[in-house]
Structure 1
């Protein structure tokens, strides 16, 4: 690392394929929106020869072409794959969105990758969500490096940003986060800012000048060496501290000079183990330049220091019946196990599935078994375990707007598969005669409701298929068809996520929808005992209708439902018609008795009635039962019940007071707090669902994107009278 100066032939115009796992590196780029991830990917592609000097591929697009939605929103909204080649190594660069609403795409990228590049803007710093992702990567031991961008900004300070990264990411060991290079600055301009023109290699003690648009190596002057000595010594000590040779530190402190080859080997091993996190600098290539600043150094780190797929622990694998299966990691001759990490639609090719092959070799025209968990495992209504046999379509690698064909994909590689009609994001592909299922990766629960309805009759016919395909592509979106409110609800992660969903419905699937206010499932109950008499008597010649029943209604504890009791004596209501009365009562209860919401938690007792030997019927007593319940409601006080959710909020200690105050303002009852370590607190509360419809958005703003929450239905309970009255008035207006 740091002393390779050979040139690399261009790879533009051909698909990059790998024949063995050892020649693959899967790298995900992580960072907040605007940190420069996509620009960095394009700079790396230029340096690796995947694109020409203008940053274009043969079809005229860029190597990381965005779709229409991304152009309009001016930000990435989906995971993209850019394969490049360097020193005979295929590097799959996975560019992820930085905006919190698209964290599902980020998690898919983390699942597909073996190492991560954290992209940090020198002008914007590190946000809370990036710190959280770092901690998640640390928990699973994923190797990580840091790339500092936007060094061209007037107030950028590489050394200060490196210190901030060490504090944020180093934890108890800030010496595990150290720079491999220092920026080489040119003369100051009129504004007093000295632009970065190259890098100083701390290990090699070489200067790498990019000022001409192409990397050139120089020996440092005698006056420059003292400036890098302190940083170099600290880096060497940091590397030796991670060395597997326990005698090396003592020898070094005793004055022994450690040779460069040993340092580089120890550095690469420490990076691959995930115990040392080098900091590098990078900048896009200027117009007409062949290489962007720091891109060669970064590609050398990825190929030399990041792990091969052999070192990636295989996620748990089992048969569809749940029986565990022992698997060798990254075995090209083993049973096929691949996973769909992303699903998208192309207007010309159709559905395209991005697949990570974990075991075996994937080939086109082979029939595979598709198996998936659906959403049932996350506690929501959704597709249960689903299975199908399907033929693999063409395999390809993305280059700009084109898909370049490849003949196969070995274990450890990523590939795009065309026309897998039954496969959804997260599904497992395995051999037809040896079906397997991988443990799904964790996805955040979508908690922002978006109620929609078809704009026209033509849209109504296409709506069901459109939303089903949308949810199949995006596992962070959940579809609910609420039987109480009769609304179609898309549960999303945030407003931007919702906007993209609406745009995709319109542009991809040709469905125009209207957004309507989301309705909460309310209930009604009796607040006191009441009696009612239902009289249904009609005589208009011929066969008439005759049924009279008298009931008593009393409230029950929450969760009791509707209880029907028969206390008729003397045959006032013939035995065959008592079930008819109950049926009528339950039908009316389902419709509601005050504001049109289902009635719950009451006991209805049939105490008396009358019948006619000829004119009484099942239908007549059903009607009488319903009338009796409605009359009882006019004589009693009716409570309107709202659903209450049990809410847990995991938030940084700095925001605990603000979050608790906000929950109280939402009519929430605070149940307690619990310290969770790492400067975080878990807050438990019960909050009416009326008050948390937009809580996903509001909490993000309140906590600067660092908090997350979960909700679960607790019970229905009476609403405050003033709110209940307003709801009744609205129900009357709609009627």
Structure 2
């Protein structure tokens, strides 16, 4: 693992295939935006021969030609797969966005992978969001390694950054996070900065020189060995501490020399178990070079130390009806069970589904069962349908290379699955299965949109459906109270990408409008009203008079209608008409155009005409009576109040609580959570937290999380209510 020499030809110009699960490694790259993940993927592709020195694939196109939105924004916004080959092993590299708004793509990458490479920039350090992802991986025992990039930056210090990683990721055992190599620096340049030109292997005590553009190895000089002695001893002790051979530590402490081969074997086992996390350094190849610094070492770590799909436990499966099924093994001959981890649209191929096969073998042109997937609240209907699989392919930039099949443990793109969405399960049509879905983050930023023009309006519904099908972290809401179309997103960048995709992919131009919350109206005091609808215009006229009393009720009571008419003043057949008119007017509102709730309307008296009274007349009279009562009473505007649960690091608690108070929030309590976190429970008016998903990220340096749930409606402060009434009057409401 990284201590070996020799060449490993890659797979230029052809699709990389796997014939058995043991020859597959699925690796997800994790790190903050700008840490160098995509650059590292390209360097690994170059080192394996998958691309040439210009970074282009043999059959045309550039490896980094992913999405025009990514080029425009200069950052990754979606999960991308780059398959390469090293020493007969197929490596599926899953490059994830580093920006918090695209955490859904990151979670999909974690689901599809069996190990994670955490990419840390020596120039920027470790951010809080990356720590959170590390903890997620630790919770499920995913093997992890660290790669330090940007060593060419001024004042970049590998040893200092390694100590930072040990403190951030080591937890109770910092000796489980240790470097396998130390960088060698060349002669200082005119600016005084000494570039990293090679690595010293701590176990093999060999020098791996990249200065000439191709990796070469040699014996260390006499003055280089003392530089690695302390780090080498610490690494050996760290490996032995994780060894399954309990006698190894006693032998080492007794002064025995432990064979390097034994140490490497124990190291590889500890990495695969997820109990030891090696630190490496990497840099892209210089002009004209094939090997970037540390790329060979990293590829040998992946192939030698990271687990095969056979070593990872498959997700739980049931029948689509929820009946339990035995655990699935990673067996190409087993029952088919695959999962759609990403859905995208290609202008030439149509819908493409990136699929991880967990069991069985997926073949083109066969019919599979699609089951999914418990996200009805986000606009994704549950479905159980049979679909015919189109062509299987491996992506490479914008190229799609045909695959004959995809076996258990491998990933592939599937064409023409018109109903399958992200998170869905593919299984045999005569043995349908459903996989336990991974946790999706809740979209908490509301974006109200409307079609830009009439042609856009005609295409809007279909465009939104396709957009939401691609992205399960987005929720589509057709709000019945405000009559707005609302896209719930994870943040501002997520919103921008969604609207750009609507425009560029689906030809739908939309405008954003202010998001409205579902306000209500209610009577603050008892009031009476008289509705008189009397008209005579030849022939049958209209005659209906009713008198009502309105009184407020406790929150959540809705509208009660009580009949207290005596003596037949209002004929029995017209009493339901009065109620219908009252309820219709209540739905339209009586002050600012918001629905009226939590009142009891009592019909006390009225008058009718034997000829001119009718159902319609008494409906109109009931509505007029309610409006007159409202004119004689004080009407409160009720705003929705939500309960929020905010989880933040202890050092941000004060800022977050102060911010909540400034939003008219009421803090209901706090609880200590593991890992130096605090859970804050508060109630806050919904109108105050429209952009809280963005603001909390700023307050907590990207580490805060929150959830929200509706609590109740309660009266809005008079000053705010008056302002909204004025706005409603100006808008003709």
How would you bin the TM-score normalised by the shorter chain?
over 0.9
Query: What's the TM-score, normalizing by structure 1?
Result: 0.99
Cα distance in 2 for partners of 1:609, 1:160 equals 87
Indicate the SS of the match to 2:446.
Answer: strand
Deviation string 1:556-605 (CA, Å, 9 cap, x unpaired) is 00000011111111111111111111111100000000000000000001
Question: Among 618, 622, 625, which residue is 2:619 paired with?
Answer: 622
Cα distance in 2 for partners of 1:435, 1:328 equals 13
Change (3 A) 1:250 1:338: same
Cα distance in 1 for partners of 2:382, 2:348 equals 30
Query: Structure 1 residues 385-394 or 504-513, which shifts more?
Result: 385-394
Cα distance in 2 for partners of 1:150, 1:76 equals 18
Check whether the contact 1:180–1:202 (CA below 8 A) recurs between aligned residues: yes
Query: What's the TM-score, normalizing by structure 2?
Result: 0.99
2:490 corresponds to 1:505: no
RMSD: 0.8
Question: Among 522, 527, 530, which residue is 1:530 paired with?
Answer: 527
Matches within 5 A, 1:247-286: 247-286=247-286
Check whether the contact 2:183–2:281 (CA below 8 A) recurs between aligned residues: yes
Deviation string 1:657-694 (CA, Å, 9 cap, x unpaired) is 00000000000001010000210000000010111000
Paired residue for 1:488? 485
Shift of 1:328: 2.8
Indicate the SS of the match to 1:535.
Answer: strand
Matches within 5 A, 1:509-520: 509-520=506-517
Indicate the SS of the match to 1:696.
Answer: helix
Indicate the SS of the match to 2:302.
Answer: helix
Question: Among 389, 402, 409, which residue is 1:405 paired with?
Answer: 402
2:711 corresponds to 1:726: no
2:487 corresponds to 1:478: no
Shift of 1:634: 0.3
Cα distance in 1 for partners of 2:672, 2:152 equals 42
Deviation string 1:3-35 (CA, Å, 9 cap, x unpaired) is 322212241110001011000000000000000
Query: Any unmatched runs of 5+ in structure 1?
Result: none
Check whether the contact 2:380–2:469 (CA below 8 A) recurs between aligned residues: no
Query: Any unmatched runs of 5+ in structure 2?
Result: none
Paired residue for 2:426? 429
Paired residue for 1:57? 57
Shift of 1:59: 4.1
Runs of 4+ aligned structure 1 residues displaced above 6 Å come to: none
2:599 corresponds to 1:595: no
Paired residue for 1:103? 103
Shift of 1:54: 1.1
Matches within 5 A, 1:237-636: 237-376=237-376, 380=377, 382-636=379-633
Deviation string 1:709-733 (CA, Å, 9 cap, x unpaired) is 1111111111111100110011111
Shift of 1:409: 0.2
Shift of 1:381: 5.5
Paired residue for 2:659? 662
Paired residue for 1:127? 127
Shift of 1:37: 0.1
Check whether the contact 1:96–1:106 (CA below 8 A) recurs between aligned residues: yes
Query: Structure 1 residues 563-572 or 328-337, which shifts more?
Result: 328-337
Cα distance in 2 for partners of 1:198, 1:467 equals 51
Cα distance in 2 for partners of 1:61, 1:708 equals 40
Indicate the SS of the match to 1:102.
Answer: helix
Check whether the contact 1:2–1:203 (CA below 8 A) recurs between aligned residues: no
Indicate the SS of the match to 2:562.
Answer: strand
Indicate the SS of the match to 1:579.
Answer: helix
Query: Structure 1 residues 384-393 or 696-705, which shifts more?
Result: 384-393
Paired residue for 1:677? 674
Shift of 1:552: 0.5
Deviation string 1:316-372 (CA, Å, 9 cap, x unpaired) is 111111111112321211111100000011111111000000111000111011111
Cα distance in 2 for partners of 1:541, 1:698 equals 65
